[in-house]
Each structure stands twice: as C-alpha cells, then as structure tokens.
Chains A and B, each alone.
Chain A
Amino acid sequence: QKEVEQDPGPLSVPEGAIVSLNCTYSNSAFQYFMWYRQYSRKGPELLMYTYSSGNKEDGRFTAQVDKSSKYISLFIRDSQPSDSATYLCAMRETSGSRLTFGEGTQLTVNP
C-alpha cells in the first residue's frame, strides 16, 4: 500500500472554476505537508507548505491539512489556463528530510 494516495486525474475545468485537489496518507509521523506544481519537462516547484493541521492561504491558493483524517487539500480559486500543470502532494516526517510524494494530478484549465 502506498503511503500517499493521490488521484492522478486527468482533471479538466473551465477558466474561473474552483479546483480541489486532494491526497490521503497513512503515515502518522508526517508533519510537513507540501504542494508542488510541475510543468511539462520541468522539475517540481514548491507552491505551498503547511506544518501540522490547519489552513494556509496564499493568493488564489489555499492548503488545508486534517491530520485526524489524514487528508490534505489544495484549492485553487479563479483558475487560469496558466495553472495547467501536474500538482503533486508531498509529505515529510519531523526527523529526516526525504519527501514522500503522491502520484500527482494532471490539471488542465480551459480558456
């Protein structure tokens, strides 16, 4: 069983839609939760990170962590065609620095 589960999609939405991306995990030791964005033929780029439970907002992006349910989410408001990319959730334990990734969700925002 994978430590992190993420629906690979693909997900296609119209411009301006609210996008919800989710991951579930099984390792209770994960304390840092991150969302990376990856454009085609590029490396992953950190979008947001959250420590432990709670919400974090940055512009059109909101990250949520529910440790009791082992469930994290990324919301994108007013989605734009430039948001079209693969979104990867990643997690890390307090000790050590290796990242454990989900499979990634491929998102397309149509003009």
Chain B
Amino acid sequence: EAGVTQFPSHSVIEKGQTVTLRCDPISGHDNLYWYRRVMGKEIKFLLHFVKESKQDESGMPNNRFLAERTGGTYSTLKVQPAELEDSGVYFCASSQLQGIPYEQYFGPGTRLTVT
C-alpha cells in the first residue's frame, strides 16, 4: 500500500512569489492534515480536512495560506505571497475515520525555503 506522498520534496522561491504544495493521502483515508515545522521549533498543526470539508483550520497562520481538497482526494496548500518566515518543512498526514486514536500517517514533507 502506498503511503502519503508529497510534492515537491523541496522548493526554493523568492519572497513575494507563490508556491503550491501537494499531498496525496493514503487511499481511503478521509482525514487529511497539514502540519508545519519551522527551524528550531516543534511541528505545529495547520488544518484538518474531513473529505473535502475543512474541519479545523485554526492553525493556519494568516490569509496568505490557502488549502483545498477537491473531491476529497488530494490536497494543495498554496502560499501567496510567500514571506521569509514561511520557510520550513510542511508535512501532510492522513488517517481513517474509524479507529482509535485515528493513527495519522505522515508524508516525507516538503522543505520550503523562501529567500
């Protein structure tokens, strides 16, 4: 069974540009999460989809970040315009609806560098 995949693995952009990160969850997983780790800090929650609906987006830092999950399959996270403080590793995770504690399977992450 394929795991969570993320694309690209690494992105280097200039301040003010736009970047779109993609996450493909494990097939059949209705829950999809985005997390972020900035340098020297802990991994922090950004938002949670259940199928195509945003269940919790309280962790999104500001309105420069837009997440979508069309058709309840893959998800994209767009940063527009990017700022220096957006640099970090963006992780996607997915889980089934049933089961305790809804084990979240993480992708390898996208390393974003904003210069």
Contacts and interface: CB of A to CB of B under 8 A. Distances in A.
- State which size class the interface on B falls in: 20 to 34
A7 interface: no
A96 B42 contact: no
Interface of B: 4, 31, 33, 35, 41-45, 48, 55-56, 59, 91, 93, 95, 100-109
A100 B106 contact: no
A19 to B, nearest CB: 20
Contact of B91 (A6, A43, A46, A51): A43
12 contacts: A6-B42, A36-B106, A43-B108, A46-B105, A88-B42, A88-B43, A98-B45, A98-B48, A98-B56, A100-B45, A101-B44, A104-B43
- State which size class the interface on A falls in: 20 to 34
B104 to A, nearest CB: 7
Interface in A95-111: 96-104
